[in-house]
A and B are shown apart, each in its own frame.
Chain A
Amino acid sequence: MTPQAANRQDQPLALLEPEVIERVRQLELFSRFRVEGFLGGSNRSPDQGSSSDFLRHRQYLPGDNPKYLDWRVYGRTERLFIREQEELTNTRLSVVLDVSNSMGYCDRSLSKHGFAIRIAAVLCYLAFGRQDTFSLTTFNTGKAHHVPFGSGRSHLLRVLHALVSAAPGNGTDFRHALGQSTAHIRRKGLTIVLSDFMDDAAPIARTLSRLRFEGSDVIAMGVFDPMERSLDFSSITRFHDLEDNQILVVDPQLIQNAYQREFDAHQQEIRQACHRYGFEYTALPVGDDYDVPLGAYLRHRMERFT
């Protein structure tokens, strides 16, 4: 991020730098599952439609519309089959953002929070570009702020404004806050949770699993600062907990390896918990080029699922 951009951090559009927009424009944000949209789009709908995308053949049953009979198959097999076509619709993107104090950790130019709101901005921008509806919900100990679903430029600006105005505060209560923050998501869509997930993996995944059970595609994006993983301190340090102000006095050199293993183990626990409930997890290290890890993840996702 350039200094000029940092100075404009309180401006909503400052979150979307032109060069970043240029790089992420090609990326696609889609749900792996069928979504329930109102408008046409690029995501598959649970309904059969009239698109050119072939879905399947099924045996003709009395009452079926004869216009969907596949006469070519009949000509070859003298049996009646109905040709079903995909219905494509737009998706509903829900961005759930952790704004607890722990997201305020900053070791370099960007804090985890700054990094996360930029990621959220890019995601909303991508949804905006695909005519999808998107919403933003922030949470800490409970639901902090909510921008309901909407689409269009003005909605994007509203979301960006909400992101800019969101500041880290309070602690984190994943079970309660995540439940509240995702309670409004009732239809199948795509939900992206941005957080550092500094809590037990199982309750978090269990909370998010409700969305998955309702048919939504969920992506958990874990934001962490590389310094938080390396614990690279050379002297005894008093660690002040950003959320409850407790102090831990530790000689980092003594536990550095164990800490790193514990950090990786926690990441792995979250990943496995997410996979267990059928949604994805990706870790995004905080960096100045915040679009890079996001872009890499989305490209990789696109290659996997399309």
Chain B
Amino acid sequence: MHLVAPIAYLGFFAVAAVPLILYLLYRRRKRDVDWGATYILRRTLKREAKKSLWKQIAIIAVRTLAFIALPLVFLRPYLDWQPPAGGAFAAAPPSTHRLVLLDLSPSMGATHGSGGRLEAALGLCRKILEATHHPGRIDILPLDGGQEPIVHEQRPVSDIEIEQILGMLELSTVPADFEQGLRVALQQFRASHYPHKELILLSDFSAADLKHGGRFAGTVQALDKIGAKVFCLSYENRVADNFALLDMTPGMDLLLSGQPTIFYVRVGYYGSRPAAQTWLSIRNSSGELLIEQALSLAPGDKTFQVPLSLAGGEQTLTAALSDDDLAYDNRLERSYHVSDRLQLALVQNLDLREGFDNPSTWIKTAFAPQKAGGAETRSIFQLEHVREQAMLKGHDHLVKQTLNNTVQPEQYRTIVDAVVTSQASADFFKDKDGVILVDVDTVTEELEQALYKYVVRGGTLLLAPGPNADPDTFNQTLRRLLPAQLAPPAVEQIDPDIYQHAILEFAGNPILRELEALDHGNIGNTRFYNGYRIADNSMADKADVLFVLSDNAPLLLHRRIGRGSALLWTAGLGGEWHSMVVHPVYPVLVARLFNLAASQRRFALNLEPGAPIVRKTDSQTARISLPDGDEQTIRSVAVGSSRFVRFDHTQAPGTYTLYPYQGNREILFRYHVPQDRRESDYRPLGGQSRSELEQLIHSPLYHREADLVHAVGATYEGSSLASLAALALLLLLVLEVGLIRKWFT
């Protein structure tokens, strides 16, 4: 039992002294009486001696209790709070504003003990809603970055309302935003007129949550200042064991049908074991199992190379891991354009040089068709071929896939059409995946216009001025397409003993990075004796350097123009200034560059959140199915002679299925917005992080509901005894009067 304001005792004693003083001042003195019936008096005293003693003790006890009850009435004592029976939540006292911050991040979908974390959290929310007996307010705010809590001010909450509220609480696709949630809670509490404020935080408090949760120390301090009490219940698993499919990208952005391609599958393991195994399976659009293999991982993430060969068209691959505690990150869908072949246009001035003096010969040779069993026909593309064969040897499934998917087995998949500048036109470029401008330093205005239009619409142009090019003319003629202004070559006369090496400057793309690997040719081994320099401060907007020479001179530059890009190779594609033409990396480099560039000609199927879905169509309207199951109608827009549909609301992760032709649901295209997989790492906080968090929020992290209920209830005063004390005082006074009347009057 507690007594509030013990200092009130002083006042109580002062008040209690008043009747004593009055008694002492006005007490009646003893009187003397001559008595004739002392015989009766003695008999009475003898008989009543013991009985009267007990009666007096009883009266004194009653008066003492009344004396004790009197201050209790004013000091408002209360009993310690007792936990409710049946696992119910602690009922809030009147005028309490209770706000529940509910973590609905994907990691809350993990199993927790015998059930799911979310089910446990919703069960607790139900108990909290049911434990509303007094006027007050209860808000439930999902920690998904939202601003508006689910508010309920009327109490008690009916069962139907509870079901409605709980029905609105579903797993989100974004990580928990503690900072935003606490800020909203602070705003709600500041606007609240209820004196008692409780903040209950239900989350798994994973390391990932707090890593990205931001800094909310200030918000917690502000909550402290306004008197809000913070309680946290953690739904963490002591032993977390989760695999997550983080990413799946192909080794080449432009996939060719029947061409074995390395897919880089990044898998994460977040657990307490030193190593764990899971199964990876990948299926294509028709559900056919492409590969299934066991993976062994240590904690952290690891990228696995999975060779696959896909059929032409747009293919959707579904990768899946074995079931584990957290299901949302075990599946990953990606769609890819798979082209039947790569078509390049080789444009150069009329060049009468023959053989390997002509740079086009090197390019044509590099992409010459590979005959079946082509050991007898030497191809400079042999390295890629050998690598492909090696891949086939190690993976039986690929042999079958390659044979099934190859459209033209007798011809390799890259076609090079060579024309002179006078024959080149916009129509010629229309179907080409890339255009190579070799040894051309000036073009007609029409050709420049055609090239510019081609690039803006997504084409890739590789500019490779030869040793005889005039930089000024080149800069003047192709100024709209150049990543940078060309300057004169480094040296006028080549010295065979002085050469440079190529170094990858732009390391962000793994495809280009492979070029430095031994089994991909090792571009670092090539020798560059000369090359054009880049004029100072002439880099265009959206231009960057992909390769540099060892003397830091740019070798390959890249510039985004519209949806396409222009590449500038400063050392010429012939053999005059470098040894790359006779090096195995030469066709690989060219192929990779065009693969990289050609993929940009098509609208992306795997989108970043918010990136638009664009698709060419002939129909006036199209339908799109959203990740949440809703469908919307999109009107197509005419652009030139074509019509396009565009859908911009792709913030929600998941698969968007576009039906470009109204009424024909057989033609469909899938677009994928990746889910945030930060929540996959739901390992519990370490001891230090936990204590830091507990210090930050000024509250321990409870693991059991009962502990939380007890912690919440421990802050309550419990049952007030004031009314009980008043009633007891009244009863005692009545009892005292009654006993006096019964015994002594």
Cα of A97 to Cα of B591 in the assembled complex, Å: 152
B36 within 8 A of A: yes
Given contacts A253-B744, A254-B52, A259-B44, contact A102 B37 (CB under 8 A): yes
A233 within 8 A of B: yes
Q: Quick one: closest A residue to B56, CB to CB?
A: A254
Q: Quick one: closest A residue to B742, CB to CB?
A: A257
Q: Which residues of B contact A239 (CB under 8 A)?
A: 33, 35, 38, 41
Interface residues of B in 39-76 (CB under 8 A from A): 39-45, 47-48, 51-52, 55-56
Stretch among A1-9, A147-155, A243-251, A292-300 lining the B interface = A243-251
Given contacts A258-B44, A258-B48, contact A253 B745 (CB under 8 A): yes
Q: Quick one: closest A residue to B55, CB to CB?
A: A254
Q: Quick one: closest B residue to A266, CB to CB?
A: B40
Q: Which residues of A contact B211 (CB under 8 A)?
A: none
Specify which of B34, B35, B36, B51 lies most central, judged by the most chain A CB atoms within 10 Å of its CB.
B36
B28 within 8 A of A: yes
Q: Which residues of B contact A128 (CB under 8 A)?
A: none
Q: Which residues of B contact A103 (CB under 8 A)?
A: 36
- Whether the Cβ atoms of A263 and B34 lie closer than 8 Å is no
Given contacts A102-B36, A237-B30, A237-B32, contact A262 B43 (CB under 8 A): yes
Would you give the shortest CB distance from B24 to chain A, in whole angstroms? Answer: 15
Cα of A112 to Cα of B35 in the assembled complex, Å: 12
Cα of A243 to Cα of B45 in the assembled complex, Å: 18
B31 within 8 A of A: yes
Q: Which residues of A contact B47 (CB under 8 A)?
A: 258, 262
Query: Could you mark each residue 655-688 of chain B with 1 if its beta carbon is under 8 Å from any beta carbon of chain A, else 0?
Result: 0000000000000000000000000000000000
Q: Quick one: closest B residue to A251, CB to CB?
A: B744
- Whether the Cβ atoms of B30 and A249 lie closer than 8 Å is yes
Q: Which residues of B contact A236 (CB under 8 A)?
A: 28, 30-31
Q: Which residues of B contact A263 (CB under 8 A)?
A: 37, 40
- Whether the Cβ atoms of A199 and B35 lie closer than 8 Å is no
Given contacts A234-B28, A262-B40, contact A257 B33 (CB under 8 A): no
Q: Which residues of A contact B41 (CB under 8 A)?
A: 231, 239, 248, 250, 259
- Whether the Cβ atoms of B36 and A104 lie closer than 8 Å is yes
Given contacts A233-B31, A248-B41, contact A228 B36 (CB under 8 A): yes
Q: Which residues of B contact A234 (CB under 8 A)?
A: 28
- Whether the Cβ atoms of B31 and A258 lie closer than 8 Å is no
A242 within 8 A of B: yes
- Whether the Cβ atoms of B33 and A237 lie closer than 8 Å is yes
Would you give the shortest CB distance from A227 to chain B, in whole angstroms? Answer: 9
Q: Which residues of B contact A87 (CB under 8 A)?
A: none
Cα of A235 to Cα of B29 in the assembled complex, Å: 7
Q: Which residues of A contact B39 (CB under 8 A)?
A: 102, 198-199, 266
Given contacts A239-B38, A239-B41, A262-B44, contact A254 B31 (CB under 8 A): no
- Whether the Cβ atoms of B37 and A228 lie closer than 8 Å is yes
How many residues of B are in contact with the other chain, CB < 8 A? 28
Q: Which residues of A contact B745 (CB under 8 A)?
A: 253, 256-257
B428 within 8 A of A: no
Q: Quick one: closest A residue to B31, CB to CB?
A: A237
Cα of A241 to Cα of B42 in the assembled complex, Å: 10
A36 within 8 A of B: no
Given contacts A254-B52, A257-B743, A259-B40, contact A105 B35 (CB under 8 A): yes
Q: Which residues of B contact A254 (CB under 8 A)?
A: 52, 55-56, 743-744
Would you give the shortest CB distance from B66 to chain A, in whole angstroms? Answer: 19
Interface residues of B in 689-745 (CB under 8 A from A): 742-745
A225 within 8 A of B: yes
Q: Which residues of B contact A233 (CB under 8 A)?
A: 31, 33
Q: Quick one: closest B residue to A244, CB to CB?
A: B38
Q: Which residues of B contact A196 (CB under 8 A)?
A: 36-37
Cα of A103 to Cα of B56 in the assembled complex, Å: 33
Query: Could you mark each residue 101-127 of chain A with 1 if its beta carbon is under 8 Å from any beta carbon of chain B, else 0?
Result: 111110000001000000000000000
Q: Which residues of B contact A104 (CB under 8 A)?
A: 34, 36
A139 within 8 A of B: no
Specify which of A104, A112, A259 lies most central, judged by the most chain B CB atoms within 10 Å of its CB.
A259
Would you give the shortest CB distance from B367 to chain A, in whole angstroms? Answer: 126
Q: Which residues of B contact A225 (CB under 8 A)?
A: 36
Cα of A101 to Cα of B48 in the assembled complex, Å: 26
Q: Which residues of B contact A228 (CB under 8 A)?
A: 35-37, 40
Q: Which residues of A contact B742 (CB under 8 A)?
A: 257
Cα of A237 to Cα of B30 in the assembled complex, Å: 5
Cα of A196 to Cα of B35 in the assembled complex, Å: 12
Q: Which residues of A contact B744 (CB under 8 A)?
A: 253-257
A238 within 8 A of B: yes
Would you give the shortest CB distance from B566 to chain A, in whole angstroms? Answer: 118
- Whether the Cβ atoms of A242 and B43 lie closer than 8 Å is no
Q: Quick one: closest A residue to B46, CB to CB?
A: A262
Q: Quick one: closest B residue to A267, CB to CB?
A: B40
- Whether the Cβ atoms of A235 and B35 lie closer than 8 Å is no
Residue from B30, B35, B40, B45 in contact with A240 in the complex, judged by beta carbons closer than 8 Å: B35
A279 within 8 A of B: no
- Whether the Cβ atoms of B36 and A105 lie closer than 8 Å is yes
Interface residues of A in 166-223 (CB under 8 A from B): 196, 198-199
Q: Quick one: closest B residue to A104, CB to CB?
A: B36
Q: Which residues of B contact A134 (CB under 8 A)?
A: none
Q: Which residues of A contact B35 (CB under 8 A)?
A: 105, 228, 239-242, 248
A81 within 8 A of B: no
Q: Which residues of B contact A253 (CB under 8 A)?
A: 744-745
Residue from A199, A235, A258, A259 in contact with B30 in the complex, judged by beta carbons closer than 8 Å: A235
A30 within 8 A of B: no
A281 within 8 A of B: no
A224 within 8 A of B: yes
Q: Quick one: closest B residue to A245, CB to CB?
A: B34
Cα of A190 to Cα of B503 in the assembled complex, Å: 155
Cα of A242 to Cα of B36 in the assembled complex, Å: 6
Cα of A233 to Cα of B34 in the assembled complex, Å: 13
Cα of A236 to Cα of B56 in the assembled complex, Å: 15
Query: Could you mark each residue 182-207 of chain B with 1 if its beta carbon is under 8 Å from any beta carbon of chain A, else 0?
Result: 00000000000000000000000000
Q: Which residues of A contact B52 (CB under 8 A)?
A: 254-255, 258
Cα of A241 to Cα of B35 in the assembled complex, Å: 5
Cα of A112 to Cα of B34 in the assembled complex, Å: 13
Cα of A103 to Cα of B37 in the assembled complex, Å: 9
Residue from A105, A237, A241, A255 in contact with B48 in the complex, judged by beta carbons closer than 8 Å: A255
Cα of A101 to Cα of B35 in the assembled complex, Å: 10
Q: Which residues of A contact B56 (CB under 8 A)?
A: 254
- Whether the Cβ atoms of B43 and A240 lie closer than 8 Å is no
Q: Which residues of B contact A257 (CB under 8 A)?
A: 742-745
Query: Could you mark each residue 69-95 of chain A with 1 if its beta carbon is under 8 Å from any beta carbon of chain B, else 0?
Result: 000000000000000000000000000
- Whether the Cβ atoms of A224 and B48 lie closer than 8 Å is no
Would you give the shortest CB distance from A138 to chain B, in whole angstroms? Answer: 17
- Whether the Cβ atoms of A246 and B44 lie closer than 8 Å is no
Cα of A198 to Cα of B12 in the assembled complex, Å: 51
Q: Quick one: closest A residue to B743, CB to CB?
A: A257
Residue from A101, A248, A258 in contact with B42 in the complex, judged by beta carbons closer than 8 Å: A248
Q: Which residues of B contact A242 (CB under 8 A)?
A: 34-36, 38
A-B contacts, 27 of them at CB < 8 A, read: A102-B36, A102-B37, A112-B36, A196-B37, A198-B38, A199-B39, A225-B36, A228-B35, A235-B31, A236-B28, A237-B30, A237-B33, A238-B33, A239-B41, A240-B34, A242-B35, A248-B35, A249-B30, A250-B41, A253-B745, A254-B52, A255-B52, A256-B745, A258-B48, A259-B41, A259-B44, A266-B39
Known pairs A240-B35, A255-B52, A256-B745 / 13 extra A-B pairs, C-beta < 8 Å: A102-B38, A105-B35, A112-B36, A196-B37, A198-B38, A235-B29, A237-B33, A239-B35, A241-B38, A254-B52, A254-B55, A254-B56, A255-B744
